[in-house]
Structure formats: structure tokens, C-alpha cells
Amino acid sequence: MNAILEIRGLRKQFGGVTALSGVDLSIDEGEILGVVGPNGSGKTTLFNVVTGVYKPTAGAVTWHGRDITGLVAHEVSGAGIAHTFQQAMAFPGLPVFENVQIACEHARKSARPYPWTTPDALLDFVGLSELAHERAGILPFGSLRLLGIALALATRPSLILLDEPAAGLNDRETQTLVGLVKQFPQHGISVCVIDHDMKLMQMLCRRLVVLDFGSKIADGLIHDVLNDPKVLEVYLGGVL
């Protein structure tokens, strides 16, 4: 596999607090990578540094061999990296269709073939066609999550970072999400997902990275990582 994103020695400090402490991580083309860790372990900070929300204190982020360390958010998005947030970013007073239409109109230019060329195609893919004319602000939580994914896909990414996409979802909604995300690689979109739901990770990911207090403590095949004594102690409290 070819690494499309490489993170080396990534550090982020907020005053006297070290949120990331020399993290090394890579994401391969066509991979769905999982990143887990306790609250405060640095997962969301990692995403925010990669996507230009924060500038790193030290270290490097390389995207397809290009150094993108310290680029601002719209530049990272323009390079082909999308980011969904724990709170879906949408215009609550506008219909679902118009939200996606706006995102499509501001999509980056890409020579890569893209399977969803219209807002209708995107809404059909994520399963929101029937809600196209509903105001985004009155959507049920699960549908709002799907809208967030549609908005991210509208930017035409080749890597999408999912920040706790299953938080607050019921079992049926989680299964729908899993089925959706598993299709991304066949459309040329790699995935990195952070979540606390280990069942979700086992359904989605072949490889898992574990963070603790800003440091990487495990990186490997998910079965091996979940049976690592240090991971069991630090993250799972000794019980899987």
C-alpha cells in the first residue's frame, strides 16, 4: 500500500499543556484507519492540526509527498482532505438540498473522476433524497450526521477525516453509517475515523492507532491492538 498522508513527530502545545507529543502516523491509499483513545488523548487535536484548524508546534504533515504543515483550513480542503465534525456544520435555516448545493458550488477542482456530480446524486448516495426540501435545522440527529458527510463529500476529497461520526446514533443508524463509509475506498476516498465505539471500529477498520496523553501507544492490525496489554490497561480498563 502507498501512504498518501504521513505525519512525523507531530507536536501541539497549548500553553503548558501538551496535546500531541511527537505523534507518527500514516494513512494508506484506500484504507479505513481507526484512531482511538481516552478523552483528552489528542484525537481531535490531531485532526485539527492536519486540517489547518491549529498550527503544529513541531513536526511535519506530508500529503502525497507535499509538505502541507501549517496550511490553513481552506488550503488543506483544496488539497483534497475533508473533515467532518462532532457537530454537523450546516446552514440550519436552509433546506438540505441548498446546503449541499452550496458545498458543491465551492468544491475544489479535481482531475480525479468523481461519482457524485450533482447535489441530487450526493443526497441519493447518503440516503437523504426524501429530506431534500426539509430545513437542515429540523433534521433528526442521525440525518444531520449524514448531511455532514454529504457536505464533506461535496468538496471532492480523496481523504475524509470522520470525527466521532457514530456519536449519538442508534444501532440502525450506526449500521447505515458503516455501510456508507465502507463504500468510500471504492470511490477513491481513503478514511481516517476517530470514535469511542469499539464495535464501530471493528466493523470499519483493519488497522487501529491508539493515543494516550498525546502519544501513540499502539499501531497495527485491529485484533492485535485490541489484545495489546498496554491498550487494555490504558484505554479499555483491562476488559475488552
Taking only the tens place, the pLDDT of each residue in 122-142 is 999 999 999 999 999 999 988
Residue 231: partners with Cβ closer than 8 Å, 6 or more residues away? 210, 217, 218, 225
Confidence of residue 117 (pLDDT cuts 50, 70, 90): confident
pLDDT of res. 79: 92
To the question of pTM greater than 0.85 for the whole model, the response is: yes
pLDDT of res. 239: 42
Q: CATH number of the domain that 219 lies in?
A: 3.40.50.300
pLDDT at 240 over 60: no
**The dihedral sign for the CA sequence 208, 187, 152, 136:** negative
**Cα 98 from Cα 151, distance rounded (Å):** 11
How many CA atoms within 13 Å lie on the side-chain side of 204? 35
Q: What are phi and psi of 123, to 5 degrees?
A: -65, -35
Question: Per-residue pLDDT tens for 143-187?
Answer: 999 999 999 999 999 999 999 998 888 999 999 999 999 999 999
Domain that holds residue 146: 87-156
Final residue of a structural domain among 97, 129, 156: 156
- Say whether both 20 and 96 belong to one domain: no
Q: Provide the Cα torsion 103, 94, 91, 116; round to 10°.
A: -20
- Say whether both 240 and 163 belong to one domain: yes
Mean pLDDT lowest for which of 74-83, 110-119, 150-159, 172-181?
A: 110-119
Residue 211: C-alpha distances to residues 45, 185, 215 (Å): 11, 24, 5
